[in-house]
Amino acid sequence: MPTGLLLVDKPQGLTSHDVVARARRALGTRKVGHAGTLDPMATGLLTLGAGSATRLLTYLVGLDKTYETTMRLGAATTTDDAEGEVVMTADPAAIAAVTDEQLAQGIRALTGEIDQRPSSVSAIKVDGKRAYDRVRAGEEVELASRRVTIRAFEVLAVRRTGEAIDVDARIDCSSGTYIRALARDLGASLGIGGHLTALRRTRVGSFEVADAVSLEALAEGGASLLASPAEVAARLFPVLEVDAAQARDLGHGKLLTLPTHPDAEPVAAVERGSGGEHPDRLVALISVRQGRGRTLVGFPPENAQEAPK
């Protein structure tokens, strides 16, 4: 079974599920998942896992992210992006009255730790049902605010057309941040409304869109494009090298005795390979407490067949 992490540069117009379906065909396996959904209008980095590497995806979801975006100030929409219906358009005089300093002040207010109310048209579940499904069914949905961190809100360009102010920006943020909501709140603070017209994710943790492949390249390259679980885990966690006997013990659920290892969780337990057809193997993610290593998540040998679920 193909196993590993795949970085895909998602094109506009496809859902994240569409990309997963393409990856399943290219890799020849149903066991493919993704971490961190992108809206159909968004492009950029989508992280996929295949085989047992899907067990790593939960650790990718919470990583910081970087986006490049265009926010249009001067109109508000039902979805806080260009795909929704316009519900408010500001008077051109009000748009022209917004000064550069007011714009900068509004951006400063949305930088750092902030309370953000997610867009109503989102995948957040309300009483077991996606918020966007409730909105499409005609329900009024008001999601609770959540604490997020905007580490950088860098303006790249400002274009004034008379009917709108377009702001190109690069945003570094914590997981769970809605860039659409930033556009909405920036426009609201200026009294002219705002929504998103373009969004591209360029980074997830230490993974960059520059290292991602297109869907066309995926169709041609298939499993040869996968990064091994050991390689991925080494970028995410501290690494503990284990020998064959220790790897076997972890595979059987036994504790490791690690008297000099500091307490840490998770730690990637990696069995070093000899290269070529015997690469490094991620054996498990473990918790080390008081000199004892306990398996949190196990990873079978890549040539092993996992039991059906």
Task: Provide DSSP, 182-201.
Answer: HHHHHHHHTTS-EEEEEEEE
pLDDT of residue 213: 97
**What are the structural domain ranges in the chain?**
4-63+205-225, 65-204, 229-298
Q: Domain 229-298 belongs to what topology?
A: 2.30.130
pLDDT of residue 40: 87
Which residue of the set 9, 18, 39, 280 is catalytic? 39
Residue 268 near residue 230, CB atoms below 8 Å: yes
pLDDT of residue 250: 93
Return the CATH number of the domain spanning residue range 4-63+205-225: 3.30.2350.10
Q: What is the pTM of this model?
A: 0.90
Is-catalytic flag, 39? yes
- Of residues 47, 84, 61, the one with CA closest to residue 184: 84
Residue 218 near residue 6, CB atoms below 8 Å: yes
Q: CB-based contacts of 192: which residues, under 8 Å, 6+ apart?
A: 73, 74, 90, 94, 95, 98, 165
Residue 9 near residue 233, CB atoms below 8 Å: no
Say how far apart CA 209 and CA 197 lie, in whole Å.
Answer: 20
Could you give phi then psi for residue 281, rounded to 5 degrees? -125, 130
Amino acid code (one letter) for 226 = L
pLDDT of residue 306: 47
Taking only the tens of pLDDT, the chain with its 309 residues reads: 899 999 999 999 999 999 999 999 999 999 999 998 888 889 999 999 999 999 999 999 999 999 999 999 999 998 899 988 899 999 999 999 999 999 999 999 999 999 998 877 665 665 666 655 655 556 666 677 899 999 999 999 999 998 999 999 999 999 989 999 999 999 999 999 999 999 999 999 999 999 999 999 999 999 999 999 999 999 999 999 999 999 999 999 999 999 999 999 999 999 988 666 678 999 999 999 999 999 999 998 865 544 444
- Of residues 89, 69, 47, the one with CA closest to residue 192: 89
**In this structure, what DSSP letter does residue 255 have?**
P
pLDDT of residue 123: 59
How far from 10 is each of 46, 79, 186, 199, CA to CA, in Å?
A: 6, 21, 27, 11
Question: Check: CATH 3.40.50.970 for 65-204?
Answer: no
**65-204 and 229-298 in the same fold:** no
Q: What share of the chain is helix, strand, coil (3-state, %, to 5)?
A: 30, 40, 35
Say how far apart CA 45 and CA 36 lie, in whole Å.
Answer: 9
Q: Collapse the DSSP code of 303 into the 3-class scheme (helix H, G, I; strand E, B; otherwise coil) and give the result.
A: coil
Beta-strand relationship, 194-204 and 65-73: antiparallel
